[in-house]
Amino acid sequence: MTVGILALQGNFSKHLEKLHALDCTALLVKYPEQLQEVDGLVLPGGESTCITLLMEKTGFHSAISEFAKEKPVFGTCAGLILMASEPNDERVNSLHLLDISVNRNGYGRQVHSGIHEIEALVNGRASTHQAMFIRAPKITKTGNNVSVLGKLNNDPVLVQQGHHLAACFHPEMSVDISIYSHFLEMISSKNLAHAV
Ligand code: GLN
């Protein structure tokens, strides 16, 4: 199994380290053609408006939309905004992969960044995680098909819909790598579903 990390802008290298720690083959995806080599894709944090412009310019927008029909995508922070059906900012051209509404920077600006303990259901186990929030989006609405896997003060911060996963926070900044193993599990079960 190979996992790609969209490497246009933002915090992509740290995701590579986490996936390597799980002995997973991972690669930085800089060209749309590389999507053919990967079984799942991480959309990193960064700036969703900037990533929008780069995705449109490079052909990634349509390439990822096509990829995501079959393959799992994991968006973190700006990546989550880019997956939301309602990003609520006209400068963000979302991929519409998750039925959620978001408020960009809903957890405050850079100075309000911090680590919060969240309650989550990861790999089927209830657990607490130290999650890093950096100018994080707040999820204000979730559709019926969206499972809320993680909460902070009763607000959803980790969500899954079908074969897509998204976090408001930055799992690449934590020591804990269980959220990545959850994503790898989603990819393998998708591959298994194809095999039968
Ligand atoms: N605030 C950024 C945005 O709206 C996301 C921040 C992040 O990814 N850490 O795109």
Residue 190 token pair: 């998708």
Q: Is the pTM of this model over 0.85?
A: yes
Full domain range(s) for residue 67: 2-195
CATH number, domain containing residue 91: 3.40.50.880
17 is catalytic: no
Q: How far is the CA of 104 from the centre of ligand 1 (A)?
A: 7
- Structure confidence at residue 83 as a pLDDT band (50, 70, 90): very high
- At residue 162, the pLDDT reads 97
Question: Is 196 a residue whose pLDDT tops 70?
Answer: no
Q: Whose CA is nearest to atom 8 of ligand 1?
A: 45
User: pLDDT tens digit string along 93-109?
Assistant: 999 999 999 999 999 88
Q: How many domains does the chain have?
A: 1
Ligand 1 centroid vs 71 CA: distance in angstroms?
24
Q: Which atom of ligand 1 is nearest to the CA of 105?
A: 1
Burial of 159 (0-12, 13-18, 19+ CB in 10 A): buried
Q: Is the pLDDT of residue 191 over 90?
A: no
Positive or negative, the Cα torsion across 82, 163, 127, 156?
Answer: positive
Residue 43 near ligand 1, beta carbon < 6 Å: no
User: Which residue is catalytic, options 77, 164, 168, 182?
Assistant: 77
Q: Is the CB–ligand 1 distance for residue 78 below 6 Å?
A: yes
pLDDT tens readout for residues 110-169: 888 999 999 999 999 999 999 999 999 999 999 999 999 999 999 999 999 999 999 999
Separation CA 153–CA 137 (nearest Å): 15
- CA 127, 81, 163, 11 dihedral sign is negative
Q: How far apart are CA 26 and CA 17, in angstroms?
A: 9
CB of 117 within 8 A of CB of 145? no
In this prediction, residue 112 carries a pLDDT of 87
Spatial CA neighbour of 134 closest among 98, 153, 110: 110
Decide whether any atom of ligand 1 lies within 6 Å of the 166 Cβ: no
Contact yes or no for 129/188 (Cβ under 8 A): no
Residue 194 Cα to ligand 1 middle (Å): 34
Could you say which of 61, 129, 164, 170 is catalytic? 170
What is the tens place of the pLDDT at every residue in 11-58?
Answer: 899 999 999 999 999 999 999 999 999 999 999 999 999 999 999 999
Q: Is 169 left (phi over 0), alpha (psi -120 to 50) or beta?
A: beta
